[in-house]
Homo-oligomer: A and B are copies of this chain.
């Protein structure tokens, strides 16, 4: 059986209309499924309101104790519980989780090389049996991007990585498909033309896309993660906007396979 792991980012979470539309589409997705969400700017906004400065280094948030508290409140509380309540309102029996819940996602504090990211976790594993028990009970897990170390410490964690790790882990039990929803229609030949979606990327055409600089900076780590997931038994990775998850959707998107 196919298990879909669908990740949405800040662009969906932050925009009420976009979120409502996504919730309807996600609830209608057939078969077992897992949602992973980031929290976008909401955490930064709350941090500002209560006077906590957000420090970013190389695009990554430095998570001190106060920032972690804000993240736990905003991602683990506000965003997660509202998504779950809205899914319930659409007939999807969702259950909101952090990585600490059911020991679902384990992590270690990111080792300090040149930068100490603070309470940022690097994922080490998932509890696929527990996640599967939830799925088999008819529940749809909804994960926020928070993990734990098993010793009482929560971590801020990259949502893309969490989604990929869940897909890889669950591929021991299911055929897994990983969907990265973002603000673009997919990987595009021409970044200014939303119709120029490259529909298929695989290990054969990828080197050419790289060499011709069609795959640009920001997309390289996403595709790196995609190929890593595929090498670890994920069947396919799709990148595009949220409409690609709708059954029989004509929405163009990029499908990545080995």
Chain A: interface size category: 35 or more
Among the listed stretches A143-151, A170-178, A239-247, which one makes contact with chain B, having 4 or more residues with CB under 8 Å of it? A143-151
A52, B151: Cα distance in complex, Å? 34
A101 adjacent to chain B (CB < 8 Å): yes
Which residues does A use to contact B, with CB under 8 Å? 46, 49-51, 69, 72-78, 80-82, 84-86, 88-90, 93-98, 100-103, 130, 133-134, 137, 139, 146, 148, 150-154
Q: A88-B100, A130-B139 given. 6 additional CB < 8 A pairs? A: A49-B49, A77-B81, A88-B103, A89-B151, A94-B102, A137-B137
A-B contact pairs, 29 of them (CB 8 A): A46-B73, A72-B78, A73-B74, A73-B77, A74-B77, A75-B77, A76-B77, A76-B78, A76-B80, A77-B78, A81-B98, A81-B100, A81-B154, A82-B154, A84-B98, A85-B152, A85-B154, A88-B148, A88-B150, A89-B152, A93-B102, A93-B103, A94-B100, A95-B97, A95-B102, A102-B137, A130-B137, A133-B133, A134-B137
Contact A78 B88 (CB under 8 A): no
Contact B49 A89 (CB under 8 A): no
